[in-house]
Chains A and B, each alone.
Chain A
Amino acid sequence: QKEVEQDPGPLSVPEGAIVSLNCTYSNSAFQYFMWYRQYSRKGPELLMYTYSSGNKEDGRFTAQVDKSSKYISLFIRDSQPSDSATYLCAMNNQGAQKLVFGQGTRLTINP
């Protein structure tokens, strides 16, 4: 079993829809949770960063962490074609030098 599981998709939704992207993990020591957005042929860009449980909102993006279920989510409201990209979750525990990444979910927003 992988330490972090992420559905690779592809996921295709119409413009304006609410998108939900998810990751599950097995290591209960994870405390730092990140979402990256990667456009084709570009490096990943840090989108959201949260510590421990709870929600964090930034514009149309909301990151949610449920440590009791070992489940994290990224919600995109009013999705735009420019949101079409691969989204990777990443996480690690206190003091760790390395991040553990999900496989990434390929998202397409159709105009």
Chain B
Amino acid sequence: SQTIHQWPATLVQPVGSPLSLECTVEGTSNPNLYWYRQAAGRGLQLLFYSVGIGQISSEVPQNLSASRPQDRQFILSSKKLLLSDSGFYLCAWRGETAQQYFGPGTRLTVL
């Protein structure tokens, strides 16, 4: 069966510091992978998605970037965090048709 992991689970970072969030998927090959952000009490905002190694589509022009160095690894990064980057970051993979399956999330607080 497929499993999706995210770490860290929680993170508190100062403004201006770098960020690296990691997502890995087990039990499937060459999945579509997605990064979402969910602000408190808000809906899901798609940040990036990837259909294969090295292929990244950006949905929001912000100070975030994504990379896919391996088939089942998806990384979200920032060189300098802003207060507005605080939120709940979710990674997801796409099933055989349209459905997506989410990881447990990383709660980021920027102070």
A interface residues with partner B (beta carbon < 8 Å): 32, 34, 36, 41-46, 49, 51, 88, 90, 92, 96-99, 101-104
Contacts and interface: CB of A to CB of B under 8 A. Distances in A.
Contacts of A49: 98-99
Nearest to A102: B43
Contacts of A45: 102
Contacts of B88: 41
B48 to A, nearest CB: 11
B100 interface: yes
Nearest to A92: B98
Contacts of B51: 97
B36 to A, nearest CB: 9
Contacts of A32: 97-99
| 4 nearest CB pairs, A to B | A32-B98, A43-B102, A103-B43, A43-B105
Interface in B38-52: 42-44, 46, 49, 51
Contacts of B90: 43-44
B105 A96 contact: no
Interface of B: 32, 34, 42-44, 46, 49, 51, 57, 59, 88, 90, 94, 97-105, 107
Given A43-B102, A99-B98, 12 more contacts: A42-B104, A42-B105, A43-B104, A44-B102, A49-B99, A51-B97, A88-B43, A88-B44, A90-B100, A97-B94, A98-B34, A101-B43
A78 B101 CA distance: 27
B42 A103 contact: yes
B96 to A, nearest CB: 11
Nearest to A2: B43
Contacts of A96: 98
B32 A97 contact: yes
A43 B34 CA distance: 13
A99 B105 contact: no
Contacts of A101: 43-44
Nearest to A6: B43
